[in-house]
Amino acid sequence: MKKYWSFFRIRFIRGLQYRTAALSGMVTQFVWGSMEILLFRAFYQASPESFPMTFEALSTYVWLQQAFLALYMVWFWESELFNSITTGDVAYELCRPVRLYDMWFVRGLAVRLSKAVLRCMPILIVSWFLPAPYGLTLPGDVKIWAVTILSMTLGLLLIVAFNMIVYMSVFYTVSSQGIKLFVTSLAEFLSGSVIPLPFLPDHVRTIVELLPFASAQNVPFRIFAGDITGPDLTISILKQTFWLFAFVLIGRYLEKRALKRVVIQGG
């Protein structure tokens, strides 16, 4: 356990070095969030009765999404990992007395967390000060905060576990390019990062909510915004847990099978 913890710390501290990048990222995300909310405002004005959530909930969703972008965006791939498989550098990693899956999992977590830690606070604070329906609305109940944090953790682990499946698949396909692009765009839409899932038509939405990607950012942000309550809340958390276990098991199985007869590329 200790070795994974120190590995986590190394990656985390390394991630904190990129401060200028974080600053410009923040500017971008702030503009993005504002435009998104202005866009939804136009739709809200067009017909408020067709709006599937309250406007406060939507604004909260958008700001959380921008603040924690680094945690839940599927497209934060680490090209270093892909390359290490393609070039054969992975052989060095395999020599170490640690399990590849665990090490890369910890690494993925650390990279995402360090990015998010640098960026989230200013966005959250500024959006909290914005006028009523356009800013971040905080829930009064302490229980909601606790559940949100639990759900955010599950969602983050789920996304990292999903990334791991894709990294492992490269052991079988060698070229990562195709699968990366395809999977990214599919997961993007299904996780609700293009438009929040409640905006989908009901029949599409029932299917999408059964899929694993709906268990990532969709759940915690909507819990925090007060859009998921009561029995739905428990079901959503259970679904998150289920998909997390499923993804971890699939990933670990793929890893085991790949490493049984590993072919090291390059020379």
Partner 1 sequence: MKSIRLYVIFFLMHLKSMMQHKVSFFITLIGQFLISFNVFLGVYFMMTRFHQVKGFSYSEVLLCFSITLMAFTLAETVFRSLDTFETIIGNGEFDRILLRPKNSLFLVLCSKVDLTRFGRLIQAVVMLVYGICYSSINWTPLRCILVVLMILGGVCVFGAIYLIFACLCFFTLEGLEFMNVFTDGAREYGKYPIGIYGKTVLFICTYLVPFALFQYYPFLYLTGKSDNLWYSLLPLFSALFLIPAFLLWKLGLKHYQSTGS
The footprint of partner 1 (CB under 8 A) covers 21, 24-25, 27-28, 31-32, 35, 38-39, 41-43, 45-47, 50, 52, 175, 177-178, 180-182, 184-186, 188-189, 194-195, 199-201, 204
Residue 138 or 181: the one with the smaller Cβ distance to partner 1 is 181
C-alpha angle 34/35/38, rounded to 5°? 90
The total of other beta-carbon atoms located within 10 Å of residue 78's CB is 15
SS3 content of the chain, % helix, strand, coil (to 5): 80, 0, 20
CA 206 to chain centre: 21
**CB of 254: closest distance to partner 1 in angstroms?**
22
**CB of 264: closest distance to partner 1 in angstroms?**
22
3-state secondary structure of 58: helix
The total of other beta-carbon atoms located within 10 Å of residue 38's CB is 10
Backbone angles phi, psi at 192, to 5 degrees: 90, 25
For residues 174 and 167, the answer to whether their CB atoms sit within 8 Å is no
Furthest-apart CA atoms within the chain: distance in Å: 63
The total of other beta-carbon atoms located within 10 Å of residue 181's CB is 11
The total of other beta-carbon atoms located within 10 Å of residue 212's CB is 20
Residue 35 or 249: the one with the smaller Cβ distance to partner 1 is 35
Residue 99 or 205: the one with the smaller Cβ distance to partner 1 is 205
Give residue for tokens 């406060």.
56
**CB of 179: closest distance to partner 1 in angstroms?**
9
Residue 241 or 265: the one with the smaller Cβ distance to partner 1 is 265
**CB of 206: closest distance to partner 1 in angstroms?**
14
Residue 76 or 145: the one with the smaller Cβ distance to partner 1 is 76
**CB of 115: closest distance to partner 1 in angstroms?**
13
Look up residue 104 and give its amino acid. W
Residue 151 or 218: the one with the smaller Cβ distance to partner 1 is 218
**CB of 52: closest distance to partner 1 in angstroms?**
8
